[in-house]
Structure formats: structure tokens, C-alpha cells
Amino acid sequence: MAAVTRYSGKVVVVTGGSRGIGAAIVRAFVDSGAQVVFCDKDEAGGRALEQELSGTVFIPGDVTQEGDLQALISETLSRFGHLDCVVNNAGYRLILCFPLDPPPQLPEETSAESFRRLLEVNLLGTYTLIKLALPHLRKSRGNVINISSLVGSVGQSQALTYVATKGAVTAMTKALALDESQYGVRVNCISPGNIWTPLWRELAASTSDPRATILEGTLAQPLGRMGQPVEVAAAAVFLASEATFCTGLELLVTGGAELGYGRKANRSSLVEVPILLP
């Protein structure tokens, strides 16, 4: 019973909630007793989830359009009268150890225009929704949860622009936590590693050897498996409902992928350095 009511009576907004991690977050908050309003560009998927889960409201929307986000907040307040939590999940995602989407790029192969598009989704969409939601979160002493990425902290080869946007989300989380602490609003982020989502499945299927691709993704974690969307969702509910003394936190949900030494260079990049023996 406690698990069902741990966030009872609260109102949560989730972006990118139609499938994968976003859908798992919507389910987890409903299971914990919250009313959830979620948006997504995938209207068919959003309507299907809304029909499946009582306690949810789906509003089609694109996080790069400020008008859509204004409508999301307005509709939430119209229906429920208050707002307790915002989860910024919508984003252009990149597989951690097998970067196929977008394709691997050297810095000189990137363009300012493609970088701008990525910024619009991953960073400015998050910023805009936070800006619109803050007056209402201050009234409820609510909280913000941003979905970032492990690569925002540790980097990733041939993914300069994506890593830059996710690093910015993590940095923005910490800065906003300082600003909003005076109002009792907590701001945290979750940085997932390899999570087995529909996107991971689709990208693996598009490779010449899907089994090898999945194995590579699996072996990146000391725990010997990929994470599940429900595990990221559980972290989100924890941050919203129980982590009441946490703000500015980056919670890594990675299976330990960032731990330990690993091979970082190939033979062609080795530098001859004399080894001095005692």
C-alpha cells in the first residue's frame, strides 16, 4: 500500500512520455498515486498509453515549440489546479557505447545547424519548460527532474555535440538548484547509461550483426547487463517523493559503466615514453 500512495495527490508533468524511459516514468508515477500529464510528438503512442493508464492525460506537443509547452502547463493547471513535479525526459538520444543515432561524427564533420537542432531539443526545450513551470512549482515547493546522460559527465568519442548538450543539462541542473533552493524547489537530474529501450532494439537491428551490438552494449557495465526503463523510472519517483534533502544531485543509473580503468587508445596513437626503473 505504501508504494501506491507514496506520491498520492501530486501532479506530475513528463515530456517525451509515449515510450521507452518516458513511458516507464509515467507508469511509475501513476503507480505511486500521482496524476500525470505527459506530452510527446508521437500522438498515436501517447493516446494508447493514456487509454491504458487511468490517472494520465496526454497532450500532443513538441518541446522545441514554446507554445506547445505553454499549453502543456496551462492544461495541467486547468485540470488539477497545481503542479508538483516536472520531469524533462524528451530528448534526442545517443546509445552510450555504440553511437549510431546520430552517426559517429568527427568535430570537423559537424555543422552549426545540426548542433542548433540538437540544442533546441535537448537543452532549450528543458530550459523553456522549467521557466514556465517554476512559478507553480514555487507555490507547491515542488521539484524538477532532468534526464541527462552519463556521457555528459564522462564524454564519448565522435559525439561532440550530443555530449555538449547533455553536459549542459547536468550543469544547468546544478545552477538551478542553487537559485531555487530559496523557494524550497529541489532540482536534480538522472544520468542513465545503457538502458534497453525500443530505440536500443531498433538501432541494434539496423546493424550488420545485432547480436554482437547488443553484446557490446551489455559488456559495458560491470553488472553484466543493460538497465531497464523501470529502473530509471524508480529513480525518478525516489527523487520526487523521498529524496527530500537532495538538490543539485546527478544520480547515475549506469550499472557502473563509468567505473574502473579501460583501454582508451589504439596502437597507432601510442607515444613512446621511456620507462624509468629504480
Query: What is the rounded CA–CA span in Å between residue 152 and residue 154?
Result: 6
By the 8 A CB rule, do 260 and 222 touch?
yes
Catalytic hit among 7, 92, 127, 162: 162
Instruction: Provide the residue count of the chain.
Output: 278
Task: Report the run of H or E that residue 58 belongs to, with start and end.
Answer: strand 56-60
**Residue entry with cell 516514468:** 25
| Cα dihedral 122, 106, 97, 231 in deg (nearest 10) | -10
Contacts of 255 (CB under 8 A, 6+ apart): 193, 194, 220, 221, 222, 223, 225, 226, 227
Q: How many CB atoms sit inside 10 A of residue 146's CB?
A: 25
Instruction: Say if residue 234 is exposed, middle or buried (CB neighbours under 10 Å; 0-12, 13-18, 19+).
Output: middle
Residue 162 annotated in active site: yes
Give the Å distances, CA to CA, from 93 to 52, 161, 197, 199, 211: 26, 12, 11, 9, 21
Which residues carry out catalysis? 162
